[in-house]
Amino acid sequence: MKKKRMDIMQKMITRLIMLFQVCAIFSMLEASNTKKIKNYLSEYKTLSISDELAKSIDFGFSATTGTTDTLNVNGRFRTYFKFEGLHQEMFKILIDANVFLTKSDNVKNNEEYRIDIDFEQTFDNTWLGYGNLAWFRNTFKNYNAIYSNNIGIGYKVLNNDRHSLTFKFGLGYNKEIYTNDLDEKTYISLNQYIAYNNKMTDTSQFYAKIGLVENTEDLSNDYEIFNIFGLTFSMSDNLTFSIEEEIYFDALNPQGEDVLDTKTIAKIGYRF
């Protein structure tokens, strides 16, 4: 089991290194051709990528391998609020709804829904508290519904105009309802996350998130690992193009087997 976990982490790290190399190329281009880039961009209205997002709609395609080998249509809606919270520090709310659909010969062969509501209260320049309410459904993986309530703390290792690196640690209460004859399961999870953002240029950003969720009743055998990383490019004031990869490993799914799923997503986003 430990060897499998190491193999999954090695795969994630390898892909992250490849994307970091792409980021380095963009950074070098920016440093060596600053005047050319600024002159080029000055002819267009560019969108500065930041956390000032109000609403966005994304539409694209996803190639999924693992449990099912399919080409999915992907739709996503996000809305973001921030206002003054405790002790005049920032309080943030993010609502994120994500859908993946696939049909083959007019028959659905994969269907996945996710809804996340995230809360974040900043305490100072480094510490924060967070909460999350989540719902997930994929009947093709035998998940009729997964409900999660999570809470924890975070620490910002880096937080400047260009880079941000945050570690989060917390607990979750989870309820899983299956489509097969298995009894529903409830458990407390130990959650650990690392999130990194790199604003490479005024119109491009690299992002990555790695997470480990472990059942506190069986830490070594019942756990999930996920890795999300990608690149976003601004094409105008409102339009963005993103390419993203998700790697998800479930050590104990409803079928009782290890599952490794990979999604490669290309999408166009509209911000308003």
pTM exceeds 0.85, yes or no:
no
pLDDT in tens, 182-231: 899 999 999 999 999 999 998 999 999 999 999 999 988 889 999 999 99
Asked whether 174 and 189 are in contact (CB, 8 A), the reply is yes
pLDDT in tens, 13-33: 555 555 544 444 444 444 444
33's CB contacts (< 8 A; 6+ apart) are none
**DSSP 8-state assignment for residue 140:** G
Residue 34: how many CB atoms within 10 A of its CB?
Answer: 11
Q: How many domains does the chain have?
A: 1
The first and second tokens of residue 248, run together, are 């998800």
Distances (CA, A) of 85 to 91, 119, 124, 126: 5, 11, 12, 16
Q: Is the pLDDT confidence value at 176 over 90?
A: yes
φ and ψ at 236, to 5 degrees?
A: -165, -170
The first and second tokens of residue 107, run together, are 């028959």
Q: Is the pLDDT confidence value at 134 over 60?
A: yes
- Evaluate the CA torsion angle 45, 49, 51, 54 in order and state its sign: positive
* Residue span of the structural domain in which 223 resides: 2-271
Residues in the chain: 272
- How far separated are the first and last CA of the chain, in Å rounded? 46
φ and ψ at 9, to 5 degrees?
A: -65, -40
DSSP percent split of the chain into helix, strand, coil, nearest 5 = 15, 60, 20
For residues 61 and 259, the model is more confident at 61
Burial status of residue 194 (CB atoms within 10 A of its CB: 0-12, 13-18, 19 or more):
middle
The first and second tokens of residue 76, run together, are 């996503």
CATH number at residue 68: 2.40.160.40
What DSSP string runs through 153-170?
EEEEEEESSSEEEEEEEE
